[in-house]
Every structure is written in structure tokens, then in C-alpha cells.
Amino acid sequence: MGTRRSESRRSPSLARGRPRASFAPVLSLLLAVAACGDPQGPTAASVAVTLVIDSAPTVTTAGYTFFSAVVVTMLDSAGRRALGASGRITLSLEAPDSAPTLLGTTSVVAALGRARFPDLRVDRAGSGYVFVAAAAGIDSGRSRPLTVIPAGRSRIRFVAQPTAVRAGDSIALEATLVDHVGNVVTDTTQDVSAWLTHLGAPDVILALGRTSRGRIRFVTSLCEAGTAHRLVVQVSDGAPDTTDAIAVEPSFPARLEFITGWQPPPDPGRPFSVSLEVRDGCGNLATGSDGLPVTVTVIEALAPYAMADSATVATTGGIALFTDLTVDRSGQYAVWAQAPGVTQVGTRWFTVVLRAARLAAGGETTCLLHPTGRILCWGSNTAGQLGDGTVGGLRGRPGFVLGTYGTVHLAVGGAHACAVDTAGTLVCWGANDFGQGGRAGGASGTPRPVAGSLTGPTNLSAGERHSCAIANGATFCWGDNTSGQLGTGGPRTASPTPALVQGAHEFRRIVAGRAHTCALDAAGTVWCWGDNSHGQLGAGAVGGTQDAPVAVAGTPAFGDVSAGANHSCAVSYMAASARVFCWGANDRGQLGTTAFVGDTAVPVQEASFGGPQLDSYSLTAGADHSCLTAGYMGTGATVCWGDNTYGQMGTGTVGGVSSIVFGPEYAFYRAASGLRHSCADGALGPRCWGDNRSGQLGAGTTGSVSGTALAVVAPQSWSAPPTAAVPIGRAQRGLPSRSGAVSPRSRGPSGNSP
């Protein structure tokens, strides 16, 4: 027992059953761990002399944080880690040919001779990048080369963009695929669309394509001038890129364009305006084209095209304004515009018509009643019959009759004319040697009131030296009565005041010839009186005179009547055709029969023509010729017969005599005849043919004849025309139609106004 207690005290561990621990091996182990990774071993008292980058990536993705931290160690002169060293270490990135940015924490204070950079990343893809570590007072350290690859997700971006372009010019654009930090992505292909947006207008697709090695190039152009254009590109799975605002300037002048809204003139001779814009190839107003000379030419639709007017102006702000263009006669016209270096342009054909409410002709004078109520006259003025305040001379161009406003009825005789206004006032002017002017005294170039109490005539006619009117159901005549043409029953003396025609007749139409007069009553019967030396009264006998109306023998119901120098004609409408009957002298074919027989005292039918479409007719007689204008389906045809010595037939020839022939090839619907000429009005305005030696055709010339219908020219001036429309009575409502009612298109014959 004593022995066991003694052992236990010597070795307590044995007493507890385990050996006593030794500290020497543990200390050795700790020293070995401290020296791990530092082959030279640590030294607490060493001084750092250089930096070394122990850990750094060699491949990374642009914009993303490195998977592991960059570690920089401070070494002493023996190449061992200087555990006692501290100080701020800065890390930077060196690149051979670009300027990448090293992002994250790039400056760290070292501890125990080492610094860690845990959140670094590089923004730009590239290769050959090198990390450089630097600290104050010691040598820097460099890493192995780093390659930065683009990020996988990409978007499109313009490489360059224009700020100002000319409209229509080609623009070469280039865009690149970039990752989210702007690196070009070359290892993928993307579908690309490009479009144009402008001030909220619908987008315009410009191009579609695919990238190649991260790039796409396309050429386009912008046409619409403006300052807010923007180009947009986008890949299928990325955000779009938009340019800054691009200013598109108008390009060079390329074409002319008429500004809409211009109106042709209401009459020839009145100025009208047109405006043109100079446009570039894209249609923009070429505002930079100031001073460009633009010429417009007004051409008439004839072959070859005749120039009616021309003018040249310089553009201002890309616009050329023409304010004083004119055409001088009725017709179809177009305006043609041209300028140096640009495409020419023309308007559509438009019609300009000298508007006529009524035509009247007599002797060597013609007059026109304008819808404004004013009267235009032209031709001989030997006795002042043009009414312009003068006596004498010839006028080949229409001129206004003085003081005639609101005219509703008009008649022209041998050398005088008469008119009625809306108030019913009757005036005459011109010759008055037999009192045909309805007053005492000589010729007057100014309209003067007719003496007496005759007011409100509804039908008016003028013969060679006498005049007649129907008013309030009674018929009156005044002037020469040598052959009883006044119809008063005697005595045969001239009357300067209206005298009542004998008999209780209610005439609706009256016409005065050279020395005889005819009238048409409501039943369609024709009555004539005066000279009968050639049977022109149609009473069944040739010779003598009649002082009172006598009925024309054996005639149907007529719808219109006319009186020439020594013959008379009337027209009826039966069996869907117009039937023309004439009587009196026939030495020049004025009866329209194929056999030029002598005088005929009873009506002979010269022809019938027409058809179901005939809807109006107008009969007129000159000295030795007659013309009938008949309406067909809203248009008209003219036939003439008799003397053609001066081209009175209107067939284009001059000379000879003719039975019924088709006259001028125009759609006429009313006519009037003078001594040796005729005029008619239609869709292309009034035209005249025949003798023009006194200017009675109104074509602007005198001293000639024409077998072709010539357009009446405009007056020299339209100064101070009235503006109000004028009521125009029964006469302007028309001539008898097939039923005997008034037709809307026909007008009075032979210098006589209904």
C-alpha cells in the first residue's frame, strides 16, 4: 500500500490514467502555419520595398464584378511578405489601345503587408489590359494580361448621326451592337429595324436588316423638310437608340406646282391671278429658290396652240404670283408654267366665255346684252348706233353703251338700236332720220328715251328704218312708214312716236325687216304688213303694200318668225321635227329650196330636220340669208341658207348661194343676223361670221370677211361694271318649244329682242 501511494505522487498523470501534455510540438506547428505561403517566411521587423499582385483574373466579362478578389502583397528586400508594413495601395488598369475604366474600390489600406480588392469590374471589352498596383515609396507591381469580353445581352447604338441634311440626299448610317456598358458585341447576329419619327406623325420604316460582326450599315434619305426629325434603330430584344433632332432643309428646285383655289375669269378681258410654288424633288417648298424666273403662258385650245398671254416673275419664298393675266376672247384655255431647270406644269383646260343674255344684230352692227344688264356693241357707228357717245367710225372690238344698266330687252336695226330696262323704260340711239329713234331730232350716239307714254315693252324689234314693240297686249311701231311698215292703216307718214298697229291683235312676237313687219299671235298665226314687192307678206300675191296686218296664207301653227330684207321665214314643230317655211324673194336662195325660183307669195317648206331630241329653236334672217339654230339634248346645231357672198353660211367658204347647209360647227342655242352677217351664242361664247368690213363680227378687226365663225373679243375695258344680277323677262326665258311653250335655251332672231 505504501509503495502505490509513493508512485502516485511522482506521476500524477499516471494516477489519472493519461500522460502529461508537452508544449514544444504546438509551438513548432504555429510557426509553420505563420510561414505558410511565404517561402522566405515572415519577418516582423522587415521593410516593404516592392508590390506583387498575387491574385488577379485573366478573363472577365465587361461590366460584371470579378469572381475573386484581386490581392496585392508588400514584399521586403528578401522577397518575403512584410507583415509589419502598411500603407495605401492603389490599383489601376493599363490598356494598349483603348480607354477602359476600372470600376469599384481601387484604393485600399494594406494590413499585415497585404491588400484585398473584392468588388472590381471593367466597363469596356478588350484584351491586353494589365493591372498596376502602386504605393508611396515602393516599387509598383503588374499582373498578367487581362481579356475582357462583351456581356451577352446587347442593344443597338448609332455610331454617328447627322444634324442637318438636305431633303432627298442620301444619308449613310451605321449602328453597332453593344452590351450594357457600351462594348461592341461581335459574336452574335441580331435583326435590326430602323424608322423615322417626326412630330408625332406615324412612324416611317426606313430599313430592315441583320448585323454583321456587331455592325449594320444602311443608306436612306429624309424628304420632309423640318427640324424635328429623329431616326430610331432597335434590335429585336433590346432597347432602341434615337438620334438627336435632325434638321432637313429643302433641296434644289425640281418642279412647279399650281396653288389650288385660283379661278378663271368670269369674262374674257378681265384679269385673273395664278400662283405657283417651286417644289424640290421631295415636294417641299423650295424656300431657298428666291429669284428663280418663272414664266407662265396662257394657251388657247387651237391647233397649233395659240398664245393668249404670257408673263415672267421672280420667285419670293419659293412662290411666284401672277396677278394680271388675261384672255381676250371666249374659248378653252390652259396655263402653262416653266422655269430653268425644273419640270414644267400646266393646268387643265378651262373655259372662258363672254357671257351673253341676248344677242341682237342689224345692218352692220351687233350688240350683246351682258348678264349684268349692260350692253356691248361693235361694228359700224356711222349714225352713233354703238351708243358710246360718239358718231362715226368703225369698231372691231365691243364697247359699252353709255348709261344702259338693268337692260332686259334689246334690238338692233339698220343704223339704230333700242333697249328696255327693268323699270320698263324704252330708249333708242343711233339714226333718227325717219323717227326710228322714237323722238324728234337727228342721230344720237347716246341712248335717249322714246317719246310718248309707252312703258314696259315685253317684246322689241328694229328694222332698217323703223322700230316696233309689244306692250300691255298692244303692238306699237314708229319710224319710217313709206311702205306701211308701221301697220297703222295710214297715212303713210313717218312717226317719231310709237303708233298703235291696227287691228285687235294680241301678238306675242314681232320682227321688223327692211320695209315690212311680221308678228306671231298666241294661236301660232303669222301676220305681216308693209312692203310686198317680192311677196314677203306671204298673203298669196306679189306686189303692192299693206298698211295693216294680213294673215300669212295657208300655214300651220308657227313657233317663231323672222323678217329679212325681202323675205320672211317661220318655223313650226310638228311630228318631232322642226319644219321651216319661207316666202318672198328667192334670187339668192333665201327661201332655202333646192330650186332657185323667183319670188314666192305663199310659204314653201324648205326642209324639216330634227327628231325626238329637238327641244328648242331660234330663227333669224339677214338681208338675203337666214339661219336656224335648233337645240338637241341640251346642245345645238345651226343650219343656214341663202346668199354666201360674204361667208354668211358659216361653212368656211365664201361665195355663191346655198340651200340649207349646216353652218358653224359649234353648239349654239340662239342666233341673230344683220345685213350680211350672223352671230350665235353657245357653250364657248358668242361667235360671228360673214361680212366684217365694218368690224361687225367683233373679232377685233375690220375690213375683211370670214366664212368661219370667229370668237367675239372682250371689250377694251370692263371698268365699273354693275354687280347686281338683272331680271330678264319672258324673252330671256326662251323661245317656243315643241309644245309652243317657252324653251330655256332659245333667244330672239334677227336683231330683234323678244
Q: What is the CATH number of the domain that holds 362?
A: 2.130.10.30
Residue 615 confidence (pLDDT): 58
Residue 609 confidence (pLDDT): 58
Partners of 682 in the β-ladder:
668
**Residue range 135-142: mean pLDDT, rounded:** 94
Q: Are residues 670 and 532 in the same domain?
A: yes
Q: Are residues 285 and 367 in the same domain?
A: no
Residues 621, 512 contacting (CB under 8 angstroms): no
Domain assignment present for 747: no
Written as nine digits, the cell of 127 is 484584351
Q: Are residues 509 and 649 in the same domain?
A: yes
Written as nine digits, the cell of 120 is 472590381
Nearest alpha-carbon partner for 600 in 613, 581, 618: 581
Q: Are residues 229 and 289 in the same domain?
A: no
Domain assignment present for 744: no
Residue 728 confidence (pLDDT): 30
Q: Which residue has the cell 361670221?
A: 689
Q: Are residues 293 and 378 in the same domain?
A: no
Residue 3: pLDDT band with limits 50, 70, 90? very low
pLDDT at 87 over 70: yes
Residue 739 confidence (pLDDT): 31
158-172, 296-310, 316-330 — most confident range? 316-330
Higher local confidence (pLDDT), 193 or 738: 193
Of 149, 181, 201, which residue sits at a domain end?
Answer: 149
Backbone phi and psi for residue 393, each to the nearest 5 degrees, phi listed first:
90, 180
Q: For residue 331, what is the domain's CATH number?
A: 2.60.40.10
CA dihedral 741, 745, 750, 754 (to 10 degrees): 50
Q: Are residues 701 and 715 in the same domain?
A: yes
Over residues 600-653, the pLDDT tens digits come to: 999 988 765 554 445 567 889 999 999 988 766 556 678 889 999 999 999 889
Sign of CA dihedral 369, 370, 375, 376: negative
pLDDT at 154 over 80: no
Over residues 56-84, the pLDDT tens digits come to: 999 888 888 998 899 999 999 999 999 98
Domain assignment present for 552: yes
Residue 29: pLDDT band with limits 50, 70, 90? very low
Nearest alpha-carbon partner for 620 in 338, 428, 411: 411
Residues 443, 422 contacting (CB under 8 angstroms): no
Question: What is the chain's percent helix, strand, coil content, to nearest 5?
Answer: 5, 45, 50
Give one DSSP letter per residue of 652-696, joined into a string.
S--SSEEEEEE--SS-EEEEEE-SSEEEEEETT--EEEEEETTST
**Cα 455 to the center of its chain, rounded Å:** 49
Q: Are residues 269 and 216 in the same domain?
A: no
Q: Would strands 164-166 and 246-249 be described as parallel, antiparallel, or unpaired?
A: parallel
Residue 617 confidence (pLDDT): 75
Domain assignment present for 741: no
Of 193, 224, 249, which residue sits at a domain end?
Answer: 249
Nearest alpha-carbon partner for 753 in 470, 497, 488: 470
Percent of the chain whose pLDDT exceeds 90: 55
| Omega of the bond leading into 304 within 30 degrees of 0 (cis) | yes
Instruction: State the Cα angle at 140 between 138 and 142, rounded to 5°.
Output: 160
Residue 745 confidence (pLDDT): 29
Query: How far is Cα 313 from Cα 311, in angstroms, rounded to an integer?
Result: 7
Nearest alpha-carbon partner for 274 in 309, 224, 223, 237: 309
**Residue range 563-589: mean pLDDT, rounded:** 87
Chain mean pLDDT for the chain:
83
Written as nine digits, the cell of 752 is 330683234
Q: Are residues 263 and 233 in the same domain?
A: no
Query: How far is Cα 240 from Cα 712, in angstroms, rounded to an integer?
Result: 70
Written as nine digits, the cell of 637 is 346645231
Q: Are residues 202 and 271 in the same domain?
A: no
pLDDT at 172 over 80: yes
Give the amino acid at 752: N
Domain assignment present for 8: no
Q: How many domains is the chain built from?
A: 4
pLDDT at 37 over 90: no
Q: Are residues 500 and 409 in the same domain?
A: yes
pLDDT at 702 over 80: yes
**Domain assignment of residue 338, given as a range:** 255-352
Over residues 483-539, the pLDDT tens digits come to: 999 999 989 999 999 999 999 899 999 999 999 999 999 999 999 999 999 999 999
Domain assignment present for 517: yes
**Residue range 358-384: mean pLDDT, rounded:** 96
Domain assignment present for 753: no
Q: Which of 379-383, 414-418, 442-446, 453-457 has the lowest mean pLDDT?
A: 453-457
CA dihedral 452, 457, 461, 462 (to 10 degrees): 20
Q: Are residues 169 and 82 in the same domain?
A: no
Q: Are residues 566 and 451 in the same domain?
A: yes
H or E segment to which residue 239 belongs: none
pLDDT at 236 over 90: no
Written as nine digits, the cell of 532 is 310686198
Q: Which of 18-22, 246-250, 417-421 has the lowest mean pLDDT?
A: 18-22
- Residues sharing a CB contact under 8 Å with residue 602, sequence separation 6 or more, in sequence order: 535, 538, 540, 553, 554, 583
Distances from the Cα of 273 to the Cα of 327, 739, 750, angstroms: 12, 46, 38
Give one DSSP letter per residue of 494-507, joined into a string.
-EEEEEEPSSS--E
Of 309, 332, 352, which residue sits at a domain end?
Answer: 352
pLDDT at 581 over 50: yes
Domain assignment present for 742: no
pLDDT at 737 over 60: no
Over residues 649-680, the pLDDT tens digits come to: 998 899 988 776 666 667 787 899 999 999 99
Percent of the chain whose pLDDT exceeds 70: 84
